[in-house]
Amino acid sequence: MAKSLEMEHPNKALGWGARDKSGVLSPLRFSRRDNGDDDVTVKILYCGVCHSDLHSLKNDWGFTHYPIIPGHEIVGVASKVGKNVTKFKEGDCVGVGVIVNSCQSCETCEQDLENYCPRVVFTYNSHDRDGTMTYGGYSDTIVVDQRFVLRFPEGLPPDAGAPLLCAGITVYSPMKYYGMTTEPGKHLGVAGLGGLGHVAVKIGKAFGLKVTVISRSQAKESEAIDRLGADSFLVTTDPQKMKAAMGTMDFIIDTVSAVHSLFPLLGLLKVNGKLVTLGLPEKPLELPIFPLVLGRKMVGGSDIGGMKETQEMLDFCGKHGITADIELIKMDEINVAMERLSRSDVKYRFVIDVANSLTQPTASI
């Protein structure tokens, strides 16, 4: 018989998880493995709330194992390090993102693309090397192989910096890979101004791009420009403005979390323009062929980034003072936060103050 969550590993842990596809989170006792020779145990301070957490809680993608404890934008303090650990010492401020292991020997791993390894282990809802399920950062501690732990830059606030561990690398990596960073002044459109989108605006500006936000929400216009630093704002519901902007963008990063039409976005691109899709709606999108063929345009995708590039992104954000704009919440406010996230009502990332608000429940759970 399979061991209970509390008994499968030697060390007791506490988190908030969902037991079914209602996605409602509540306290959950579970356990973490002993710190191995290559491991770092992290006392979690803050964890960002990504829309992928919400998709997973609701089983939008059809592969959620319940109970699930989400959370992959983790910043904390190294509380124990194994004897082979050279990169970190106890007391260091560290980050953990979307992946916690991979085979470490295949072609993609050797190219520092562990995120594309066929045997990648995600931070939650994934089978770990020992066959047990992984549980994420809505919890008090996590034990991670040192290769998948990041140095969190000094000078960045750990709460507002936590979303960089997923949102940050997810937009940084395609900017580099798809050639957006080599020629300052190129025009980048960012579709969807949520967690990923608002960080894309900041990183795009730091790379010297001209950035236009493409949004359904007129109410976000002044903030996008005055607070986030975008150069212009385009509301998708205004056909005249959309028409006037056709053929003006070199690149678009599409962060929209729901099913939507790619047709208007492809129309905004110049000849040879590139549309990079990052959002993960639960159903496939239609691919309009005519604008692709007639404008030699390209549609690509991208999934977070490898560990080396994630460290590079954190250091870049440290240097440029880039963090997320956050709403800091207590652990027991998470269900309200998820409901608001489902309505795109967050400016622009919820972050859970884990260390100060995750307390042992008095009743049995």
Footprint on this chain of ligand NAP (rule: CB under 6 A)? 50-52, 55, 166, 170, 192-197, 215-217, 220, 255-258, 260, 278-280, 302-304, 341, 344
Nearer to ligand NAP, 117 or 143 (CB): 117
The least distance separating ligand NAP from the CB of residue 313, rounded to whole angstroms, comes to: 13
Tell me if 276 sits within 8 A of 252, measured CB to CB.
yes
Residue 194 site contact among ligand NAP, Zn ion, none (CB < 5 to 8 Å, cut-off depends on kind): ligand NAP
Nearer to ligand NAP, 76 or 197 (CB): 197
The least distance separating Zn ion from the CB of residue 116, rounded to whole angstroms, comes to: 8
Nearer to ligand NAP, 5 or 68 (CB): 68
The least distance separating ligand NAP from the CB of residue 78, rounded to whole angstroms, comes to: 25
Q: Give φ, ψ of 143 to 5 degrees.
A: -115, 120
Q: Is 221 exposed, middle or buried (0-12, 13-18, 19+ CB in 10 A)?
A: middle
The least distance separating ligand NAP from the CB of residue 148, rounded to whole angstroms, comes to: 16
The least distance separating ligand NAP from the CB of residue 236, rounded to whole angstroms, comes to: 7
- Pair of tokens at residue 192: 């969807």
Nearer to ligand NAP, 94 or 337 (CB): 337
- Pair of tokens at residue 88: 């970190």
The least distance separating ligand NAP from the CB of residue 54, rounded to whole angstroms, comes to: 8
The least distance separating ligand NAP from the CB of residue 159, rounded to whole angstroms, comes to: 17
Residue 5 site contact among Zn ion, ligand NAP, none (CB < 5 to 8 Å, cut-off depends on kind): none
Residues 6+ apart with CB under 8 A from 176: 309
Residues that bind Zn ion (CB under 5 A): 50, 52, 102-103, 106, 109, 117, 166
The least distance separating ligand NAP from the CB of residue 306, rounded to whole angstroms, comes to: 12
Nearer to ligand NAP, 170 or 310 (CB): 170
- C-alpha to C-alpha distance for 316 and 298, rounded to whole angstroms: 27
- C-alpha to C-alpha distance for 49 and 22, rounded to whole angstroms: 17
Residue 255 site contact among Zn ion, ligand NAP, none (CB < 5 to 8 Å, cut-off depends on kind): ligand NAP
Query: Which residue of the chain is nearest ligand NAP when measured via CB?
Result: 194
Residue 215 site contact among Zn ion, ligand NAP, none (CB < 5 to 8 Å, cut-off depends on kind): ligand NAP
Residue 279 site contact among ligand NAP, Zn ion, none (CB < 5 to 8 Å, cut-off depends on kind): ligand NAP
- C-alpha to C-alpha distance for 99 and 31, rounded to whole angstroms: 19
Nearer to Zn ion, 103 or 246 (CB): 103
Nearer to ligand NAP, 199 or 209 (CB): 199
Residue 344 site contact among ligand NAP, Zn ion, none (CB < 5 to 8 Å, cut-off depends on kind): ligand NAP
Residues 6+ apart with CB under 8 A from 59: 21
Nearer to Zn ion, 114 or 140 (CB): 114
Instruction: Supply the Cα-derived Rg of the chain in whole angstroms.
Output: 20
